Amino acid sequence: MSSYIRKYDLVEVSEYPSYLAITDNIHIFNKFISIMKSSVIVYEGLYGVRLARGEYKDIRMGVALYGFGQQNALWFLREALQKGARVIIKAGFGLNFGESRHPVIAQYAFAYSCNKDKLYLSIADYTLLSIMDWQLSTSEIEYSIENIVSCGNPIESLDDKELSELRKRFNIKVMDTDTAYIYDYLNRWKAKALSIIFPFVWVESYPEIGLWFNYEPTSKDENSVINELVRLILDTFVEYHIRLEAMKKKKEGEPE
């Protein structure tokens, strides 16, 4: 697969890194490997998942490549959470379906220009977490501000009745089937971690979706786009790690 891979085991993965990106895009997966090249170990896990574990800026991280249906995705997520994953980002693209489906010609819409300061509760008022808190408080589910939440590409026509119910429950306008089931599962699991939401939508179609990073469509070549996206995610993991460590130290220093 790559000259950077030092080990490739067809074994059950015993431990997942705390910071885990998941994707069904082989190019995104390979880009993670190339950036974490000095320390990468790749495993073939259960449920057809290929997991690359490594380090970025001295912090252990990982990326999992999956390519299967919703039910297997749920089993994989359960395994990952049971074995140590705590912050999960789903990495992918929202294509402009009105354009060519060719990966280089099509417009990629994604969160490459976001302001990471808006990720955290320490920034007053308008933050992703406060938006998420408001959004979930209007839905009929039990939740914690610390739940892990995932996202993915939207599609406009959804006929699946169960999917429609999920969308109503979470008060979200557009969501693809895989993402809806992942979203539902992670909320049911109530994993304890800070939350990040990456719905990929184009602004002119769904400006009111609520839970998303700002982005601008780009016509850059595919490799450049993927490189920016992967580095954004890795840097976001670093930011999370710094914040979580600071929160842990503050908590340890508080009197009983």
What is the pTM for the complete model shown? 0.54
Q: What is the DSSP string of the chain?
A: --TT---EE-S--S---SEEEEES-HHHHHHHHHHTTTS-EEEE-GGG-EEEEEEETTEEEEEEE--S-HHHHHHHHHHHHHTT--EEEE---EE-TTS--STTTSPEE--TT--GGGGSTTS-SS-HHHHHHHHHHTSSS---TT---------S----HHHHHHHHHHT-S---HHHHHHHHHHHHHT--S---------TTT-TT--S------B---HHHHHHHHHHHHHHHHHHHHHHHHHHHHHHHHS--
Q: Does domain 8-253 have CATH number 3.40.50?
A: yes
**128-152: per-residue pLDDT in tens?**
333 334 444 444 434 433 333 333 3
pLDDT digits (tens, 9 = 90+) for 167-199: 555 544 444 444 444 445 445 554 332 233 333
Segments making up each domain of the chain, as ranges: 8-253
Task: Walk along the chain (256 residues) and give the pLDDT tens digit of each residue.
Answer: 333 333 444 446 778 888 888 777 788 889 999 998 767 888 776 666 788 889 999 999 999 887 654 445 556 766 776 787 777 676 665 433 223 233 322 222 222 222 333 322 221 122 333 333 444 444 443 443 333 333 333 333 334 565 556 555 554 444 444 444 444 544 555 433 223 333 332 223 322 222 233 233 344 555 666 777 688 778 777 766 776 677 678 777 766 5
